[in-house]
């Protein structure tokens, strides 16, 4: 069976500090990978998606970036966090030719 991991679970960071969130998937090969953000009381915002190693598509221009250094590893980064970056960050995966997305447990980020 497939499992998706995210860490850390919670994070409190000061404005202007860097960020690195990691997501890994087990039990499948060449998954599509997605990063979402869910701000308090708001819907899911797709930030990045990837269909393969090194292939990253950005949905929303901002101070975040993503990388996929390995097939089942997806990293979300920022060089300098803003207050508006606070939210619930979710990683998801889907099969190569499938729409069903499965979410990881998420990282709750608070920027102070």
Partner 1 sequence: QKEVEQNSGPLSVPEGAIASLNCTYSDRGSQSFFWYRQYSGKSPELIMFIYSNGDKEDGRFTAQLNKASQYVSLLIRDSQPSDSATYLCAVPGGSNYKLTFGKGTLLTVNP
Give residues in contact with partner 1 (CB under 8 A): 32, 34, 42-44, 46, 49, 51, 57, 90, 94, 97-106
Nearest to partner 1 of 15, 60 (CB atom) = 60
C-alpha closest to that of 76 among 97, 101, 104:
104
Nearest to partner 1 of 75, 91 (CB atom) = 91
Q: Provide, rounded to whole angstroms, the least separation between the CB of residue 51 and partner 1.
A: 6
Q: Provide, rounded to whole angstroms, the least separation between the CB of residue 103 and partner 1.
A: 4
Nearest to partner 1 of 65, 94 (CB atom) = 94
Residue showing tokens 């207050």? 83
Torsions phi, psi for 84 (to 5 deg): -70, -5
Produce one character per residue of 29-44: b if its CB has 16 or more CB atoms within 10 Å, e if not.
Answer: eebbbbbbbeeeeeee
Q: Provide, rounded to whole angstroms, the least separation between the CB of residue 80 and partner 1.
A: 27
Alpha helices in 1-112 (DSSP H): none
Nearest to partner 1 of 25, 90 (CB atom) = 90
Report how far residue 64's alpha carbon sits from residue 109's, in angstroms, rounded to the nearest whole number: 13
Q: Provide, rounded to whole angstroms, the least separation between the CB of residue 35 and partner 1.
A: 12
């Amino acid at each position: 069976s497939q499992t998706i991991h995210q860490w850390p679970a919670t994070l409190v960071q000061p404005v202007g500090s860097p960020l690195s969130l990691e997501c890994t998937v087990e039990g499948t090969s060449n998954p599509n990978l997605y990063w979402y953000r869910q701000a308090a009381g708001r819907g899911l915002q797709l930030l990045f998606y990837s269909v393969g190693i090194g292939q990253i598509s950005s949905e929303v221009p901002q101070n975040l970036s993503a990388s996929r250094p390995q097939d089942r590893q997806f990293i979300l980064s920022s060089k300098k966090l803003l207050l508006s970056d606070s939210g619930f960050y979710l990683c998801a995966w889907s099969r190569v030719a499938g729409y069903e997305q499965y979410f990881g447990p998420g990282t709750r980020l608070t920027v102070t």
